[in-house]
Amino acid sequence: MTDIIRQIQSLKKERDAVILAHNYQLDEVQEIADYMGDSFYLSKVAADINCRTIVFCGVRFMAETAKVLSPSKLVLLPESDAGCPLADMITADDLRAFKAKHPGVPVVCYVNSSVDVKAESDVCCTSANAVKVAASLSGKKVIFVPDKNLGDWVAKQLPEKEFILWEGCCTTHAKVQPADLIKARENHPAAKVLVHPECDPSVVALADFVGSTSAIIRYAETSVAQKEFIIGTEMGVMMKLKTLRPDAQFFLLHAGLVCPNMKKTRVQSVLDALLHNQYEITVAEQYAEPARKALTRMLELV
């Protein structure tokens, strides 16, 4: 492993490359990343970073987003089949048909979506800024795709608006049920329960805190008097949490909170990407330009 990391460091300098890694990546990948965070943070980095090559340790829609925001850069996805079941739950044709049923209603598209779906949308969002994005739109109605659970949570924060939700969900977060949370509280009565809004609304309603991965990490980091936390999002955040709060204990809400696609990337995958341009992300301009507008509009709301 040491030799692989040494090669990666050398190739990064040679190729003017940076490594971006999502919070859900394996610990070994997080350890070699130049920038690590949630989708919103990594989108901003991809748009602003000065480099020639981005190695995106995440899933395909994230690498596509980086390419759309930085079209002049070479963007590499170390594992070509690292996809997202949620993103696959809606197509551009689906969205066009959905919009036709609700003419004139603006579309907020969760960043967990394909580039052609983004191209059919008015503005993108992440779980970190979805409420702010939806609130910025004029009119009372909002189409929100593709995650119905995140959309439901956003709708509850903005009761003055009517949300029209697509029937999609994150298959990892959707595993958690209220009984899991109740049992976790019984096992750790002193712990605060922190969950991602991609969880089912029945689970979200029972939590002490609801937020994106970055918000969950920030809550745990700043709640210095609290020593126990039950974490209701993908297990990859545990590394960051334990690093920031070595004095605290963290318990995963459900053993199934593991995204198999996020776990495909290995340190060897990153080396192969830098050695062989595995796997270059390209985006057709017919989708890139309208998707860029939707993503840029999101970033301008920060």
**pLDDT tens series, the chain, 302 aa:** 789 999 999 999 999 999 999 999 999 999 999 999 998 899 889 999 999 999 999 999 999 999 999 999 999 999 999 999 999 999 999 999 999 999 999 999 999 999 999 999 999 999 999 999 999 999 999 999 999 999 999 999 999 999 999 999 999 999 999 999 999 999 999 999 999 999 999 999 999 999 999 999 999 999 999 999 999 999 999 999 999 999 999 999 999 999 999 999 999 999 999 999 999 999 999 999 999 999 999 998 86
Residue 208: domain span: 173-252
Same domain, 269 and 122: no
pTM exceeds 0.75: yes
Query: In what helix (H) or strand (E) does residue 180 lie, and over which residues does it extend?
Result: helix 178-187
Residue 121 lies in a domain: yes
Q: 96 and 60: one domain?
A: no
Q: Which contiguous run of DSSP H or E holds residue 240?
A: helix 237-244
Rounded-to-integer distance, Cα 150 and Cα 286, Å: 28
Question: Within this chain, do residues 37 and 62 fall inside the same structural domain, yes or no?
Answer: yes
Same domain? 76 vs 212: no
SS3 for 189?
A: coil
**Cα 244 to chain centroid, rounded:** 20
DSSP string covering 112-162: SS-HHHHHTSSEEE-TTTHHHHHHTSSSSEEEEESBHHHHHHHHHH-TTSE
Q: Which residues contact 143 (CB under 8 A, 6 or more apart)?
A: 98, 99, 102, 105, 106, 107, 108, 163, 164, 166
Amino acid at site 154 = V
C-alpha 25/C-alpha 270 separation (Å) is 12
Q: Do 186 and 154 belong to one domain?
A: no
- In whole angstroms, what is the distance from residue 263 CA to residue 30 CA? 11
Q: Answer yes or no: do 11 and 58 share one domain.
A: yes
Residues 137 and 6 in one domain: no
**CATH number of the domain bearing residue 76:** 3.40.50.10800
- Is the residue at 257 inside a domain? no
Same domain, 97 and 73: no
Looking at the structure, tell me whether residues 44 and 103 fall in a common domain.
no
Question: Domain for residue 237, yes or no?
Answer: yes
What Rg value do the Cα atoms of the chain yield, rounded? Answer: 19
Query: In this predicted structure, what is the pLDDT of residue 1?
Result: 75
Instruction: Please report, for the chain, how many H helices and E strands are present, in that order.
Output: 14, 12
> 111 and 180, same structural domain?
no
Q: How far apart are CA 180 and CA 144, in angstroms?
A: 28
Give first-to-last CA distance, the chain, whole Å. Answer: 39
Structural domains counted in the chain: 3
Q: How many residues does the chain have?
A: 302
Pairing of strands 192-195, 141-145: unpaired
pLDDT value of residue 24: 96
For residue 301, the model assigns a pLDDT of: 82
Type of residue numbered 302: V
The pair of structure tokens assigned to 263 is 């776990």
Residue 302's pLDDT is 66
* Residues 79, 92 within the same domain: no
* Judgement on whether residues 31 and 100 belong to the same structural domain of the protein: no
